[in-house]
């Protein structure tokens, strides 16, 4: 009987490695596919990844970023929750407040996103923008221990868009908030030092 590790080694030796160069449209199509897989894993998050992708691209363009950054922001948004494929639905769909242990497990999805995307060549920027969507400017949040000075603009945008999208989208257990109410919550978070106030203001203008 061949164990899995030995089998993997044998296959890697026998199967040729192929490196493909994909254009943006092809990468976008693949990102969309994985976004739908993540979103359809649970009705609680249906269309969330696609909403973040579209929102991240829209606000980036509104803020004057070049086309390359805007396209990468779309991909990062589409893939930001890909780590949730490793989280059980009993946690993703739990209607009650998560226990400390369950929340600890849930937080792992951001780390999983980081490591999944680390396996793709030239995805370092997209990986970081996607994986750090739960980081706060006051050093709180997850994963990793980045401070405000270490969080770049795209990472700050992704954090704000993830919150805005979660607040405004309908879910089985709640009706989405209006644009003004969602922006009010973002503004409050900005005043508390959690998110970037400039981006919060830009979201109000861009999506209003």
Q: Is 84 one of the annotated active-site residues of the chain? A: yes
Instruction: Please tell me which residue in 58, 72, 84, 135 is annotated as part of the active site.
Output: 84
As a whole number of Å, the end-to-end CA separation of the chain is: 62
- For residue 171, give the 3-state DSSP assignment: strand
**The two three-digit tokens of residue 53, written as one number:** 């992708």
Residues annotated as catalytic (active site), given as ranges: 84
């Amino acid at each position: 009987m061949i164990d899995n590790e030995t089998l993997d080694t044998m296959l890697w030796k026998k199967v040729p490695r192929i490196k493909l160069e994909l254009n943006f449209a092809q990468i976008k199509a693949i990102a969309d596919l994985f976004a739908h897989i993540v979103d359809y894993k649970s009705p609680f998050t249906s269309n969330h990844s696609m909403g973040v992708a579209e929102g991240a691209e829209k606000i980036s363009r509104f803020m004057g970023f070049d086309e390359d950054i805007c396209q990468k922001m779309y991909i990062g948004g589409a893939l930001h929750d890909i780590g949730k494929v490793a989280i059980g639905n009993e946690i993703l769909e739990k209607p009650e407040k998560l226990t400390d242990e369950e929340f600890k497990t849930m937080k792992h999805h951001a780390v999983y996103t980081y490591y999944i995307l680390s396996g793709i060549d030239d995805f370092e920027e997209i990986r970081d923008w996607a994986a750090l969507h739960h980081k706060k400017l006051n050093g709180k949040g997850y994963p990793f221990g980045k401070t405000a000075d270490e969080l770049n603009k795209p990472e700050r945008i992704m954090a704000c868009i993830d919150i805005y999208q979660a607040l405004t989208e309908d879910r089985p257990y709640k009706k989405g908030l209006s644009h003004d109410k969602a922006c009010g919550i973002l503004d409050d978070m900005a005043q508390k030092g959690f998110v970037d106030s400039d981006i919060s203001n830009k979201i109000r203008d861009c999506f209003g």
